[in-house]
């Protein structure tokens, strides 16, 4: 819920810059969008979690693998992980309200299942562009009932049905769904899911703020994926550009013609010899 949070504006005000052009961005661009140029600056952040690879054993025992920074890339109990550092955020419109996947919601698997949806669009007066992290995963899913499965993960000892002890997805799914009072068909698979995380921490010093040209450019700028509005320097209309070019050509032709006509008439008048 986007309530009762300290906001940048409560300390800095709505117009912290001398430049009014920067201040005017506040209507549609959140402070964070310019002031968090990269995230995961010190520690790596998790980007992908694949539950489907869980359950492998070494000498009959669960194991863990790490990368050179010490982040777990594989855990028998949880699957594989991908990490990232010094990342450029993604961007989306956000009006402060969100929707979430709840246990029991039915969804078709043809597309990626959204675990949350951040609401907003350019036309919405409350929406601003914010920086986000996009986290993806592969999660256990009931293919017949079309819902994400809540598996039972924990149990004290082997035989209790928890995946982390018994490594049996089918039993873990059956017991987990029973515990949350939802049906389980006995048929599980893994589906792709996605989560959107607003980024509010890791503000950089002012000299590292995102520069004008990183957004106001035609080639693959930071806001290239947000296409529901006009942005100077990025968007243009070929028609209006052509009219502009024609206007310049006509003006030039007009001036040249006018000059020529004046020269011709000046000469004519001089040849005639009738100065007044
Ligand atoms: C609780 C009050 C508070 C909040 C909330 C706050 N700031 Fe600040 N911010 C400060 C203070 C105080 C300074 C000055 C620190 C200094 O001069 O060392 C500062 C400094 C800054 C600077 C300049 C840093 C530099 O040295 O170049 C930027 C940029 C900034 N804040 C952006 C933000 C953004 C963006 C947010 C919201 C995500 C935010 N602030 C939220 C109090 C706050
Ligand atoms: C369009 C990009 C953009 C947005 C949006 C933006 N800023 Fe900035 N901000 C900058 C740039 C660039 C600078 C450095 C140049 C300057 O100070 O004018 C800066 C400087 C600052 C500074 C340091 C000012 C100083 O005098 O040292 C603070 C504090 C700050 N911004 C806070 C904010 C807050 C709070 C918001 C949201 C209300 C915000 N900014 C929105 C680009 C932006
Ligand atoms: C984070 C991306 C971003 C950065 C950085 C950024 N802009 Fe923008 N700018 C936008 C967006 C988005 C709009 C469109 C806002 C709208 O339609 O209301 C915009 C609009 C504008 C406009 C049109 C203003 C208007 O009132 O219609 C100007 C001029 C502009 N920006 C100049 C700048 C300058 C100069 C800088 C650098 C100091 C800058 N921008 C940095 C995203 C950015």
Confidence class for position 275, pLDDT limits 50, 70, 90: low
Mutate to test the pocket of ligand 1, among 7, 9, 12 (most ligand atoms within 8 A of CB): 12
Expressed in angstroms and rounded, the spacing between residue 207 Cα and the centre of ligand 2 is: 9
Confidence class for position 80, pLDDT limits 50, 70, 90: very high
Tell me which residue has its CA closest to atom 32 in ligand 3. Answer: 21
The residue among 197, 95, 87, 70 whose CA lies nearest residue 137 is 197
Contact between 109 and 146 under an 8 Å Cβ cutoff? The reply is yes
Tens of pLDDT, residue by residue over 136-167, are 999 999 999 999 999 999 999 999 999 999 99
Mean pLDDT over each residue of the chain, to the nearest integer: 93
Confidence class for position 261, pLDDT limits 50, 70, 90: very high
pLDDT attached to residue 5: 81
Expressed in angstroms and rounded, the spacing between residue 223 Cα and the centre of ligand 1 is: 24
Tens of pLDDT, residue by residue over 213-241, are 999 998 889 999 998 888 888 887 777 77
More confident site: 109 or 48: 48
Asked whether the CA dihedral 237, 132, 68, 164 is positive or negative, the reply is negative
For residue 123, is pLDDT > 80? yes
Expressed in angstroms and rounded, the spacing between residue 116 Cα and the centre of ligand 3 is: 28
The answer for residues whose C-beta is within 8 angstroms of residue 43's C-beta and 6 or more apart is 85
Confidence class for position 2, pLDDT limits 50, 70, 90: low
Mutate to test the pocket of ligand 3, among 26, 126, 131, 231 (most ligand atoms within 8 A of CB): 231
Expressed in angstroms and rounded, the spacing between residue 15 Cα and the centre of ligand 3 is: 15
Asked whether the CA dihedral 124, 87, 85, 67 is positive or negative, the reply is positive
Contact between 184 and 195 under an 8 Å Cβ cutoff? The reply is no
The burial class, CB within 10 Å (0-12 / 13-18 / 19+), for 100 is: exposed
The residue among 168, 194, 62 whose CA lies nearest residue 115 is 194
């Amino acid at each position: 819920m986007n309530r009762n949070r300290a906001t940048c504006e409560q300390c800095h005000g709505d117009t912290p810059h001398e430049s009014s052009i920067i201040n005017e961005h506040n209507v549609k661009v959140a402070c964070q969008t310019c002031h968090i140029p990269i995230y995961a600056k010190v520690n790596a952040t998790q980007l992908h979690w694949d539950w489907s690879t869980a359950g492998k054993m070494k000498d009959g025992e669960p194991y863990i693998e790490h990368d050179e920074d010490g982040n777990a890339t594989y855990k028998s109990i949880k699957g594989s992980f991908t990490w990232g550092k010094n990342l450029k955020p993604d961007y989306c419109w956000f009006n402060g309200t969100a929707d979430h996947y709840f246990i029991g919601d039915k969804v078709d698997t043809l597309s990626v299942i959204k675990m949350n949806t951040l609401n907003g669009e350019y036309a919405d007066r409350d929406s601003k562009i914010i920086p986000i992290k996009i986290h993806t995963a592969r999660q256990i899913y009931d293919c017949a009932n079309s819902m994400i499965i809540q598996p039972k993960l924990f149990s004290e000892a082997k035989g209790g049905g928890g995946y982390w002890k018994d490594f049996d997805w089918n039993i873990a799914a059956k017991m987990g769904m029973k515990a949350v009072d939802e049906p389980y068909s006995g048929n599980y698979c893994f589906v792709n899911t996605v989560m959107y995380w607003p980024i509010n921490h890791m503000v950089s010093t002012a000299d590292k703020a995102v520069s004008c040209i990183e957004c106001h450019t035609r080639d693959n700028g930071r806001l290239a994926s947000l296409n529901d509005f006009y942005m100077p320097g990025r968007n243009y209309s070929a028609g209006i550009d052509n009219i502009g070019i024609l206007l310049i050509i006509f003006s030039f032709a007009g001036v040249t013609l006018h000059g020529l006509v004046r020269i011709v008439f000046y000469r004519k008048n001089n040849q005639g010899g009738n100065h007044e």
